[in-house]
Amino acid sequence: MRDRNPAVAERTSGVLVVEIRGELDIATVVRWTTVIEAAICELPEPHLLVLDLGSLEFLSARGVRGLLEAMECCQERGIAGCLIITPGSVAARVVRLTGLADRFRVFPNRLTAIAASQPVEMRWLPG
């Protein structure tokens, strides 16, 4: 079953998180890449794009190519990118087999991804 809302964007402090839900295939790839591009254009000085694939049920070859294109577009604009992938999921296997995991940083959850992108002095609160 296809999700009518395939992507949800959340913006905070220069970090853009896009959660992709349902299926990422030839029928849905244009919708979510449009969401990502629009959100990037609206965000002042983004420094990190987080694509959350944790709720993804299916990932096709065309979906992988769409992920690659979105991440490369960000890199061209000077925006770092990473993927959130639930270990052992369908998306995890596809990302590993296609080599996306070798090209982009992969994290198990949003908090870890966002914390890893912060400067060291911002990660620790004074005691």
What is the model's pLDDT at position 56? 92
Q: Which domains does the chain have, with CATH numbers?
A: 7-114 (3.30.750.24)
Q: Which two tokens stand for residue 6?
A: 């395939």
Query: Identity (one letter) of the amino acid at 125?
Result: L
Query: What is the pairing mode between strands 7-12 and 15-20?
Result: antiparallel
CA dihedral 104, 75, 109, 86 (to 10 degrees): -40
Q: What is the mean pLDDT of each run of 10 residues along the chain (127 residues)?
A: 51 78 91 81 73 92 90 84 92 91 91 78 52
Query: Which whole-number Å values give the CA distances from 64 to 24, 85, 118, in the listed order?
Result: 8, 13, 27
